[in-house]
């Protein structure tokens, strides 16, 4: 039996900008509880929540060893819509029967949209 991934924590000095980014471009719902310094971003469908945690003064933003990947069936179409909303992805690449494109969030973390989940297996 496997245990589903429930949440990812992103440490950032740009809480408001990050919350708006993930809500606008990926449809997350923003939850702020009084007295809680963590902002929770909940997906509208299945998937893990993102917890935005204030970074300390010594923490460096822009994780390079982890990449958030969003399952998107029409990568090229999503790139066009995202660009109209202010998010520019690199050119889409084709690999092993699926397409993907990369970008960065406001804190410099790597993100990707990918049609891999929809590729025939």
C-beta of residue 109 within 8 angstroms of C-beta of residue 69? no
> Residue ranges of the domains in the chain?
7-118
Position 25 scores a pLDDT of 97
Please say whether the structural domain 7-118 has been given the CATH code 3.10.180.10. Answer: yes
Sheet holding 39-42, edge to edge: 7-12, 49-54, 39-42, 29-32
C-beta of residue 67 within 8 angstroms of C-beta of residue 116? no
Percentage of residues of the chain with pLDDT beyond 90: 79
Residue 121, pLDDT > 80, answer no
Position 39 scores a pLDDT of 97
């Amino acid at each position: 039996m496997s245990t589903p991934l429930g949440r990812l924590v992103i440490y950032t000095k740009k809480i408001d900008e990050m919350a708006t980014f993930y809500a606008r471009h990926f449809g997350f719902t923003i939850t702020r509880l009084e007295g809680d310094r963590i902002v929770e971003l909940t997906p509208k469908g299945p998937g893990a929540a993102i917890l935005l945690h204030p970074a300390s003064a010594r923490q460096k933003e822009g994780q390079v060893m982890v990449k958030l990947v969003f399952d998107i069936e029409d990568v090229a179409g999503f790139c066009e819509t995202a660009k109209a909303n202010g998010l520019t992805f690199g050119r889409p690449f084709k690999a092993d029967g699926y397409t993907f494109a990369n970008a960065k969030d406001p804190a410099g973390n790597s993100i990707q949209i990918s049609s891999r989940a929809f590729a025939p297996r």
